[in-house]
Structure 1
Amino acid sequence: MPTPTSIGLFPLHSVLLPGATLSLRVFERRYLDLVSECTRDQRGFGVCLILIGDEVGVPATPAKYGTQARIDDFSTGDDGLLHLRIRGGRRFRVGTTHVRDNGLLLADVDWCEFDPDDELRPEHATLSLVLERILEQVGGEHAKAPPARMDEASWVGWRLAELLPLQESQRQGLLQMDDPHARLDWLLRWIS
C-alpha cells in the first residue's frame, strides 16, 4: 500500500473538479504561506469542500475527497490581494489532518486512480450533445477542445459536472465516484 502524501488544504464552499478552473482571492497569512511554498517547491495544494465552518478564520472541516490544485496564473488585484487562477488535477481521499501553528490545515492524502480512457457509451450520447450545446453558449477554453474529447467518458462527465447548475453537494458526490460511467449515469438521471 502506498504511503500517504501530506499536502496543505485550502477548504472552500466550492468543489474543484479535475480539469476545471477556479479563481481565488488570497489574503490570510496561512494561505499566502501555502501559495509561497507551493510556488517554491513547484507542487500543488488540495482543495476540499467545506462541510463545517467558513473559508476564513478557524480551520474548517473538509470533505473526505478533494482535488489537487495547480496555480495556472496569479496577479495582484486592484484590491491589493493576491488573485489566483487554479486548475484541478488529480483527486485524493483525505486521511488524517492536523493544523499548523499558522492555522493551515494539512492532510495525509491517498491519491485516487486516474480515470480510464474509456469511450462514451451509446446510452450517454445525449450527454455529449448537451455538453456541445452548453459549450456553444458559454464558450471558454473547453469550447476549443478537439471534437474527439466529446467521445471521452471522463472528460464529458467532468465538464458537465463543472458547467451544469448543480449544488456543491452534488458535485462533491460526483467527485467521490471512481467510475466515469457511473458519473455519466447520475448526470443522465439528473438531466432527465
Structure 2
Amino acid sequence: MTELPLFPLGTVLFPEGRLGLRIFEPRYLDLVSQCLRTDGTFGVCLIREGRDTGAPALPHDIGTEARIVDWDRNDDGLLALTVHGERRFRIAGSRAQADNLLLGEVEWLADEPEALPAEYTPLADLLWQLLQRVEPDRAEAGERFSDAAWVGYRLAECLPLQPGQSQALLAQPDPLLRLQSLAAVVQAVDEHAGE
C-alpha cells in the first residue's frame, strides 16, 4: 500500500491521458507546491458524493495517478496545471488532514498489455480520425493503435460520455470488455445520429 494525496474532481483522468486543472484552494496549492518540489504525484478520482471545494468529497474507489507536466499562473491569479495520467489505483482507505486534503491508502492496478483484436479495428480507425481533428501530431506519430488498453482509454477521452460512464470504463480491468462497452456507445451514437 502507498499513501497518495487525492484530488476528487467532477471528471475522470485515464492512464496516459492529459487533464487541465485550475487550482485556487490552499490545500491544493500546497499539494502542487510539494509535487513540484519533489516530483511527486497525486491521485485524481471522480467525486461520488460531495463537491470539489470545501469539505472533503467522497471519491470513487478507482482513480488515476497524476503527474504535473506543465504549470502557469493565469491573469486571474489561479494556478493552471496540465497533468499526465499514470497508473490506475484502488483506494483501500482514506483520511482527511486538518486542511481537508484527502490522503488515500492505495494499491496499484496493472493494465495488462493486450493486442487489439481485429473485431475492434473500426474503433482504432475511429480514434485515429478523431485524433486527426484534435491532435494531428499524435495521430501521425502512430502512437499505439494496436494496444487494446491504449485505444480504449484514448477513445473514452474523445467520446461524449457522462462522468459515470467514464468511471465505469476506468474501473473495468479487462481492456477487451472496455472496448466492447465503447463499441456499444459508438453504435448508440451512430443510431441516434441516423434518426
Identity of aligned residues (%): 46
TM-score, L = length of structure 1: 0.93
Tell whether 2:122 aligns with 1:123.
no
Q: How many residues align?
A: 187
Q: 2:152 aligned with 1:153, yes or no? A: no
Deviation at 1:91, TM superposition (A): 0.2
Q: How does 1:25-104 map to 2 (within 5 A)?
A: 25-104=22-101
CA displacement, residues 101-125 of structure 1 (integer Å, 9 cap, x when unaligned): 1110111001001x22221101111
Could you say what the CA RMSD is over the residues aligned between the two structures, in angstroms? Answer: 1.2
Structure 2: which amino acid aligns with 1:55?
A: D
After TM superposition, the runs of 4+ consecutive aligned structure 1 residues lying more than 4 A away are: none
| AA of the residue aligned to 2:120 | H
Q: Residues 107-154 of structure 1, C-alpha deviation per residue, up to 9 Å, x if partnerless?
A: 1001001x222211011111011111111222255324326x111111
CA displacement at 1:93 relative to structure 2: 0.2
TM-score w.r.t. length of structure 2: 0.92
Stretches of structure 1 that go unaligned for 5 or more consecutive residues are none
Deviates more, 1:19-28 or 1:66-75: 19-28
Structure 1 residues 96, 141: CA separation in 2 closer, same or farther (over 3 Å shift)?
Answer: farther
Distance in 1 of aligned mates of 2:89 and 2:102: 15
Give 1:182 deviation, angstroms: 1.0
1:20–1:141 Cα change, 3 Å: farther
Q: Secondary structure at the match of 1:6?
A: strand
